[in-house]
Structure 1
Amino acid sequence: MKQVAYARYFQRRFVWILITLSAFVLLAGSLRGTITALPPIIEEIQRDLGLSSAEAGLVTSIPVFCFGFFTPFTALILRRIRLNRAVCLGLLIVILGAVLRSLGMTWSLFVGTCVIGIGTTCSNLVVTMLIGRDFRHRAGIMTAVYSTMIDLMIAASTAFSFPLVAYVGWRGAAGVWGVGPALIALVACLAIYPLNRPGIRPFFAQKAGWTIHTDDSVVTAGPAKASEIYRWPMAWLMAFAFAVNTFCYFGVAAWLPKILADMLEMGPNDAGFAASIYHIVGVAAPLSMMAVQKMIRAQTSTILTLVSLSWLLMPIGMLLLPGGWALWSACGGLGQGAFFSITFTLVIERTTNMAQTRTLSALVQSIGYGFGALGPWVLGRMYDMTANWLWPFILLTVLTGSLVVISQIVARSTSTPQPQ
């Protein structure tokens, strides 16, 4: 009888854990679909609003530039408001931007897209802070879940935004992907994260068997200063590594279909389908590498070596043996997906309080996304100047090769930010 009672107890507890986690999962899932729903329907928007190719390209680039530019300012704002309120603030800004973007006017398209970028910038920081507050001892798995949800929503919005145009037009499709995920996440977050107190709502925390945090600083040993992070060499190495990964990710994602079409003479449809391998493997990479690490009980430095080498294999393979494009695309997908997850796991694990987590995350994201946004432009410019993909792949080889070295330094270091 006791065994049956225990089994029922743990079954009920597991259900409540899933319910409590739903807010975090939905929040993570709302961070990219709003943005990545636009590129597949950009031609429809161009025709309707009479945009030039340069203007259309700017629409798709604005959110990433917002990530880089507004992250430091967002971090300052988050110092002054309760984390639970920041969760809802970011989602409300995204919803406002999505509504503006869907009005169907040129000015509202650009303003709405910028507002979406600002709201998503806020949520990017909030997610890492939530992991640091509520799941610090499970940072690896929760960061993997966060990364996986981002990639899943990128894949879903990319695949299904264009078919929606036939039924509701581009404004409806942009509205569905812009308002829908953020609104659902907002409802869940209001239920789980009370606005008037820190931490998860006590009812859900008790049902899930979790500790109720009564302070947003969690494990803080005292007030932290931003200079603690800026004076820490590992912070800048993490930022550089994330910047390189982001640059390579955006660059390859933007040009891989054309690369396959040019090098292997694929048709546009075949090249687009073939390039999806890069994204599909990226979806599975974070949780897969987490499972591998648990199975073989590997150190983080070992996993980072595998991930970095996998990234490095892609440009080298495409240069030397382009016929193996499927394998090289999978290697690139594994590298970019897992590296993103591991980077933010290290951000959370190497900091000791919420202030440090916020500051380090802001530093990594502002530099990373600011530099990463240049990836498609730089690779495209190199291609225009040389009329082939040799030099773009050489640049990718140098950059991903640097990740192998830098990731080892960061992973093997045991230093932490030192108070002044």
Structure 2
Amino acid sequence: MTSPTPPRAAHHPALALAGILLIAASLRAPITVVGPLVVPIRESLGLGAAQAGLLTTLPLLAFALVSPVAAPCAARFGLERTLLAALALMCAGIVLRSAGPAWALYAGTGLAGGAIAVGNVLLPSLLKRDFPLHMARLTAGYAATMIVAAALASAVAVPLAEAWGGGWARALAAVAVLPLLAALPWLVRVRLPADAAPRPSPAAPRPSVWRAPLAWQVAAYLGLTCFIHFAAIAWLPAILQEAGASGARAGALHGWMQLAGAVPALALVPLLQRLPDQRWIAFASPALGACGLAGLLARPEWAALWTFAFGMGMGASLVLSLAFVGLRAGSPQVAASLSGMAQCIGYLLAAVGPTLAGSLREWSGRWSLPLGACIALCIAMCALGLSVGRAGHIDGTPVRRGREGPQPSAG
């Protein structure tokens, strides 16, 4: 049994929600803002395609390295203090990478990526702790916030750089406003009285997520989603510009692709409430992404349609990947462990995406090879989705149906 002490969010729900959504807005925009600016960054610093791909790969490597330690840090220092420290480091990394030299660009990117990893891992655990009966709704809400903020950052990156006389560094630095705003509610929350920590019963020890096949399936689905998604974030503007689009249009379509991901984030909530499991959604989402990529290969002049389809498919897959952490965990403690494990393995796999896509482009001289590889991975995700989408918990505890879809049993 656990202590019935109500979560802190029960007394300050608006503050808790504001903190969650503002952090969510900071988790992708610092990465996606780089894609539309890759061409001026390469020209300014003399970077090759593979070197430029590292600007997207470095945050993913930081995700993989930092994710396993985020939950232990939160257990020692508290969720609120850990998240506030992460926001401060994120802001520092964004400012550092905008300093100008190549070393600062890479160092700041890695620092910001490590801070983002902490938010990635702890937000599902925070939702599980503070809003256990609203996991599906709030997961979709914070995913939509994350996607919309990322899309806006992509859309305004090139206009900001041009307005500031080609100042790509200033455009990169502009996203520091997001973690600064996000820190405000957390400065208040760290001053509130700490919650009494629920203590698990000695008779029910927590299982190791590293030994659970279902946990590895969650990690693989997340990894393939992020491999494809971040490869597209890194290189879609370059792909579109090579097909004849202007830099401004490529940046706008880059934001359009990510904005499309907010549509399934909102539409999945009623579906998750009504379906007994997520198998067919987990199958259909990457299938739609594959159709978008195939359309870019066959008819690039219809790029607006194909980028929207791809964004919807990968957006739905990302929402499901995040939701699986809560839906496949029977407690906040297991959710934190599963989140750290899944994001470590998943983002380690995803880190290969941008650099490998850039290397394949340099080797083949065309974008058809990396796009074809991503289509094949989408098909693999379809098969995996039929397995990971089955209702269940990694520790074998029963699942009950509730207002927010499958929920952990009270026993």
Q: TM-score range by the shorter chain?
A: 0.7 to 0.9
Find the counterpart in structure 2 of residue 6 from structure 1.
none
Find the counterpart in structure 2 of residue 280 from structure 1.
259
Taking the TM superposition and a 5 Å limit, the aligned residue runs for 1:18-417 are 18-41=14-37, 50=45, 52-53=47-48, 56-165=52-161, 166-167=163-164, 169-178=167-176, 180-194=177-191, 196-198=193-195, 214-215=196-197, 217=198, 220=200, 228-260=208-240, 265-294=244-273, 299-318=277-296, 325-417=303-395
Deviation at 1:223, TM superposition (A): 9.1
* 8 A Cα contact 1:84 1:193, kept in partner: yes
Q: Aligned partners of 1:125 and 1:383: how far apart in 2?
A: 32
Deviation at 1:380, TM superposition (A): 3.1
Q: Aligned partners of 1:160 and 1:374: how far apart in 2?
A: 27
Q: Aligned partners of 1:110 and 1:389: how far apart in 2?
A: 25
* 8 A Cα contact 1:36 1:158, kept in partner: yes
Q: Structure 1 288/265 Cα, relative in aligned 2: closer, same or farther at 3 Å?
A: same
Which structure has the highest helix share of the two?
1
Structure label with greater radius of gyration: 1
* 8 A Cα contact 1:151 1:283, kept in partner: yes
Identity of aligned residues (%): 26
Deviation at 1:170, TM superposition (A): 4.9
* 8 A Cα contact 1:31 1:150, kept in partner: yes
Deviation at 1:326, TM superposition (A): 3.9
**Unaligned 5+ runs, structure 1:** 1-15, 199-213
Q: Deviations over 1:187-211 (max 9, x none)?
A: 112224546503xxxxxxxxxxxxx
Q: Which amino acid aligns with 1:371?
A: L
Deviation at 1:303, TM superposition (A): 2.5
Deviates more, 1:141-150 or 1:392-401: 392-401
Q: Aligned partners of 1:41 and 1:99: how far apart in 2?
A: 16
Q: Aligned partners of 1:36 and 1:312: how far apart in 2?
A: 21
Q: Structure 1 232/105 Cα, relative in aligned 2: closer, same or farther at 3 Å?
A: same
Q: Aligned partners of 1:110 and 1:261: how far apart in 2?
A: 24
Deviation at 1:67, TM superposition (A): 0.8
* 8 A Cα contact 2:155 2:255, kept in partner: no
Alignment partner of 2:261: what SS? helix
* 8 A Cα contact 2:34 2:234, kept in partner: no
Deviation at 1:292, TM superposition (A): 4.8
Q: Which amino acid aligns with 2:106?
A: F
Q: Which amino acid aligns with 1:392?
A: P
Deviation at 1:246, TM superposition (A): 0.9
Q: Aligned partners of 1:311 and 1:290: how far apart in 2?
A: 20
What TM-score does the superposition give when structure 2 sets the normalisation length? 0.81
Deviation at 1:106, TM superposition (A): 4.8
Q: Aligned partners of 1:224 and 1:99: how far apart in 2?
A: 46
* 8 A Cα contact 2:87 2:183, kept in partner: yes
Q: Which amino acid aligns with 1:252?
A: A
Q: Aligned partners of 1:72 and 1:406: how far apart in 2?
A: 24
Q: Aligned partners of 1:356 and 1:399: how far apart in 2?
A: 29
Q: Aligned partners of 1:81 and 1:319: how far apart in 2?
A: 49
Q: Deviations over 1:332-363 (max 9, x none)?
A: 11111111111221211221223211111111
* 8 A Cα contact 1:242 1:368, kept in partner: yes
Q: Aligned partners of 1:37 and 1:389: how far apart in 2?
A: 21
What TM-score does the superposition give when structure 1 sets the normalisation length? 0.79
Q: Aligned partners of 1:319 and 1:403: how far apart in 2?
A: 20
**Unaligned 5+ runs, structure 2:** 1-11, 398-411
Q: Aligned partners of 2:261 and 2:330: how far apart in 1?
A: 30
Q: Aligned partners of 2:180 and 2:40: how far apart in 1?
A: 25
Q: Aligned partners of 1:222 and 1:314: how far apart in 2?
A: 50
Alignment partner of 2:208: what SS? helix
Q: Structure 1 320/143 Cα, relative in aligned 2: closer, same or farther at 3 Å?
A: same
Find the counterpart in structure 1 of residue 401 from structure 2.
none
Find the counterpart in structure 2 of residue 203 from structure 1.
none
CA RMSD, 1 decimal? 3.2
* 8 A Cα contact 1:221 1:353, kept in partner: no
Q: Deviations over 1:219-272 (max 9, x none)?
A: x5559877621111100111111111111112233333444455x654555444
Q: Aligned partners of 2:164 and 2:203: how far apart in 1?
A: 53
| 4+ long deviations beyond 6 Å | 223-226
Q: Aligned partners of 1:100 and 1:265: how far apart in 2?
A: 33
